Amino acid sequence: MNTGSFILAQLLDPIHRQFFHRCVQRFGGDYKIKHFSCWQQLVCLVFVQLTWRESLRDIEACLNARAGQLYHLGLRAPVKRSTLSDALAARDWRIFAQLAQHLVAQARALYAHEPLALDLKQTIYALDASVIDLCLSVYPWAHFDAQRSGVKIHTQLELHSHLPAQMLVSLATFQDVVWLDQLCYEPGAFYLMDRAYVDWQRLYAIEQARAWFVVRAKKTLSYCRLHSQAIEAESGLRSDQIISLRAFYAAKNYPDKLRRVRFYDVKQERGLVFLTNHFGLPALTVARLYQQRWQVELFFRWLKQHLRIKAFYGRSANAVRTQLWVAVIVYALVAILKKRLRSEASLYELLQILSVSVFEKTPVAQLFQAIHSQNDNPFLSNQLELFE
């Protein structure tokens, strides 16, 4: 990384500028643009995500307070809120979506050998979607019922790296299960899904791709038991059955056998029923696999709590999508930084440190070493603490 540049510039270092410019050219992002390029827009929006600016006026004031230093970030003129607003409305969001996917691929390669809670060599993906609520009067184009507007983020999270292998930003009216039609299934991989993704024709497509799925069964499941396997009741298992679907259209769309595993969760005091097309795994491993699906929920929670994706700086659909994809870019950049520094700090801690250091010229490795050395200082333990 560059050592004589701002922390913000060092964070942006993994971005391949030629790749980004190809994305810009592909979608005409800088066509007839003279003063505020797509790269300058990206720098501003990454700054926004790191520092949690509240509004366009806030962004303008904070950046222009550093007017003498903006040139080193590629910003050759003071930033105006009207210019940024026009850019959010006009620049194609797919520019930033492709950059986000490119950076996520870089980060996934760095985390490829991370350990998993389960002793499985296969790649494991958790699928889910999360709705981001919008104001109906401000975003009427995104309404999905009489009182609410919203957009939905669909995510295929790779559990080894905790990074999204695939993402889609859609209107909230877009059904979760329809997204399965756009996925390319990896042979031998596991796909963990909730009941919203139970569609027999689409699940059979996973089977035909020689991939595995674990999905929660609906209560209305109609099936015929073909065989029951022995279980250990002390582990929480209640049954392990080989079944076939009984309903006419369900059996037509999924003609093969399925495995039905029933498990009782003592902590939550409820029974859970899972369906899978993998017949060789221990039944308890099937239940633990589905438990790992919770990681995608934690991913959504992390994004909403620590990045700026619940309040938006533009009212158009393009502005909303752009801001969401830039949030993913920042997530990927921080993940890459964590791995390159071999830091044991969490992504949240790295993000907080970066948020107050964007205009420092300290080498980023030295920045985190200094902070860790302060935390390890034995004299700090002698200081009085409030609320002991």
Report residue 212's pLDDT band, with 50, 70 and 90 as the boundaries.
very high
pLDDT for 380 equals: 40
**pLDDT band at residue 131 using 50, 70 and 90 as cut-offs:** very high
How confident is the model over 159-206, as pLDDT tens digits?
A: 988 999 999 999 999 999 999 999 999 999 999 999 999 999 999 999
Dmax over CA atoms of the chain, in Å, equals 75
- What's the mean pLDDT in 202-213? 97
- Residue in this structure with the two tokens 């500028």, named with its chain if needed: 17
**Would you list the domain boundaries of the chain?**
7-94+314-376, 195-284
Check whether 382 has a pLDDT greater than 60.
no
Whether 307 shows a pLDDT value over 60: the answer reads yes
What contacts 274, CB < 8 A, 6 or more positions away?
Answer: 214, 215, 216, 217, 260, 261, 262, 263, 286, 287, 290
Length of the chain: 388
- Centre a 10 Å sphere on the Cβ of residue 362 and count the other Cβ atoms it contains: 15
For the stretch 12-45, pLDDT in tens is 999 999 999 999 999 999 988 888 999 999 999 9
The pLDDT tens digits for 43-102 are 999 999 999 998 999 999 988 888 777 877 878 788 899 999 999 999 999 999 999 999
Share of residues in the chain with pLDDT > 70 (%): 94
Report the amino acid identity of residue 351. Answer: L
Average model confidence (pLDDT) for the chain? 90
150 has a pLDDT exceeding 50:
yes
Average pLDDT of the residues in 262-269: 88
- Coil, strand, or helix at residue 156? strand
pLDDT value for 384? 42
State the average pLDDT over residues 338-343. 91
Report residue 381's pLDDT band, with 50, 70 and 90 as the boundaries.
Answer: very low
Return the pLDDT at 117: 75
